[in-house]
Structure 1
């Protein structure tokens, strides 16, 4: 973005094979800000897209940025940058959440082989459609308890976050005005220290940074409770994990494989989020 709020439509593309290291030099005159994209295309047309926020840089400084590192899961981003998030406009509830944000916090979208968005009202299925996002759900104006569920699956060449499920619960009623009202929801974000191939060492104790990311502009409260479970058999069995000082402690098995993560968070007002990421990251021995 150029000074004065002007947008430049100049896009430059560099093709490469991951993992890859790139050095860029950017212009900062007048407070210019930069927007970057990462696109990964599969052999049969499947695509993953990551997008940075508008970022400003200080002259003569060096910045290091990491892209396309797990865990790939829902991310809540400022509504004026990528999407509306999870909102209500009048009596229409919409879920426009990037479901494959990376561990560095970039918004992310991906081609899916199956998707489902379902809205429950006062415990009953209200409506659903076989896609992520969509045109939204028109609901009665009165106050009610809602549960919004988004499920996705993706296939090869994607090897991580092959199945995800996110369920938000919140209370909502008619929203005045024409602007989307951010609903009181959160997501749980994991940022493990993975190598360039999104792999951690098998065997031993591993600690994963975790945080609860709240939707900006909403009435979501302070986090009251957070629990995390871990699975090493693609979700067939789960075991509770200890959380201490913002880190989840996981004991990796000796064999190579994948780690799946399941989390639940609640705020002081009773709003909740439940997330499951099957094959959140890979583990392997490093000889």
Structure 2
């Protein structure tokens, strides 16, 4: 059982008059339970009592509690002789009362058998359960909230019991189910207001579903195709819920999503290169189809949009400088990628101020230095990254210059190291390139006679703050011999939105070209980035 909400406050006799409470907990056979986790909360105010995982002795627990209304949640885990979980049962007992001034013991009998309703989910196409959770959102009489969750993995059954609308506070219930087959899956959320329903059989109907077609691009330099998909449900009441399933890159994985409440789904993909890409949270609309491209080459450091909850890697806070290239981009609009800890084959970043080296790091975490003067300066970051870890893996060399002024845009009080209520984080004017190569198949191979690249160049933005200096120049070059020689690509467009093109000659069949991009804005901030093994030229021209 998982709990979320306000921190527990144990009452004292100085604050409340306490009465003895005894919990008699039994398993399915009626014997004293040894397989239960029990929580008791006061629903007049959680601050009066929240007793988590009350200790049981021979199926009995004794606590002191103030008079009032209560809810009890007990999670039972049944196991076979080998210790494998065979079922999980969550018992919820609400509108319990501890009277005042009786002098006697208030006893609550908690039987595992109360949770007799198995949660089942039907889908339009056959799918095997990957995970299942039952979440109860409880609000006390003061408006404070807590969430109780029972979770199972695989095909383990989960049983619950019906709960009526409470007399004190409010209650809602959400069932989150994930299931899959070979090339598709379901991520479903069913919300019931004011109660836990007696009928725990849910059916996802085609008209309720949004279809998300995930095209998973496999880097030409990586032998493994194994990755992972995480579906993230963000609900204003219940918070975050996650589902997981394996994902095979080089294929298309279709996900059918549903939320009958206010939750919004987003998706994350971890590539075989150990890069985890996140998409923006979307309110997928029932009956509509969406397409997401994941890991479509090349994968390289880039600027991104950062909101609350994630620190700025290119910011100053007073004399503290944070400088790093932790965000990676693929061709997916709005995707933000990060390398899993310790996974890149190699990474090295050196930072300069007005031409003087001020630090270097081999960690993908931002380099932080202190004591920087609060005067105008030019910061420079030079980073080399090997994502793939093989001779054909994608590598990149990024060289940035950023003009710092003490009045740089503020990103908020505490979104970077050194930031505080009185020392805001200020966003450095980092330029980033976003690559979208046309005509690639799922192995990042192009068979078109002329390659097209949609290139966008923009600035880092943190909580809506960042440079608004116009992008004034860009170039694109391509190399077929590992960077020994370069050919200038044809480039059209302006103001950060460009289309580049170059030939995919038959004589270069099987070659993995390198791409070099430069860009500048009106304020003098610059970007130079070289990406090797950006894609593969196929043989059918």
Shift in CA distance, 5/213, structure 1 to aligned 2, threshold 3 Å: farther
In structure 1, how many angstroms separate the alpha carbons of the residues matched to 2:280 and 2:389?
28
Would the aligned equivalents of 2:361 and 2:367 in 1 still touch at CA under 8 Å? no
- What is the 5 A alignment of 1:55-66? 55-66=282-293
**Greater RCO (CA < 8 Å, at least 6 residues apart):** 1
**Structure 1 vs Structure 2 CA RMSD:** 2.4
Shift in CA distance, 97/179, structure 1 to aligned 2, threshold 3 Å: farther
Would the aligned equivalents of 2:446 and 2:536 in 1 still touch at CA under 8 Å? yes
CA deviation string 1:43-75 (max 9, x = no partner): xxx622222122222232111222121121123
In structure 2, how many angstroms separate the alpha carbons of the residues matched to 1:19 and 1:233?
26
Shift in CA distance, 128/98, structure 1 to aligned 2, threshold 3 Å: closer
Match among 433, 442, 447 for residue 196 of structure 1: 442
What is the Cα deviation at residue 226 of structure 1?
0.6
Larger Rg computed on CA atoms: 2
- What is the 5 A alignment of 1:36-51? 36-41=267-272, 47-51=274-278
What is the Cα deviation at residue 180 of structure 1?
2.3
Moved more, 58-67 or 73-82: 73-82
For structure 1, which runs of at least 5 residues remain unmatched after alignment?
A: none
Match among 261, 280, 285 for residue 534 of structure 2: 280
Match among 214, 217, 221 for residue 469 of structure 2: 221
Would the aligned equivalents of 1:71 and 1:281 in 2 still touch at CA under 8 Å? yes
Match of 2:344 in 1: 112
SS in 1 for 2:512: strand
Would the aligned equivalents of 1:170 and 1:184 in 2 still touch at CA under 8 Å? yes
Would the aligned equivalents of 1:116 and 1:130 in 2 still touch at CA under 8 Å? yes
In structure 1, how many angstroms separate the alpha carbons of the residues matched to 2:262 and 2:302?
27
Q: Which has the higher strand share?
A: 2
Asked if 1:211 corresponds to 2:442, the answer is no
Q: TM-score, normalised by structure 2?
A: 0.48
Would the aligned equivalents of 1:91 and 1:174 in 2 still touch at CA under 8 Å? no
CA deviation string 1:229-272 (max 9, x = no partner): 11111112112111014211111232321111111111111111
In structure 1, how many angstroms separate the alpha carbons of the residues matched to 2:265 and 2:323?
27
Match of 2:281 in 1: 54
What is the Cα deviation at residue 29 of structure 1?
4.3
Q: TM-score, normalised by structure 1?
A: 0.87
Moved more, 15-24 or 186-195: 15-24
Match of 1:258 in 2: 512
Moved more, 242-251 or 30-39: 30-39
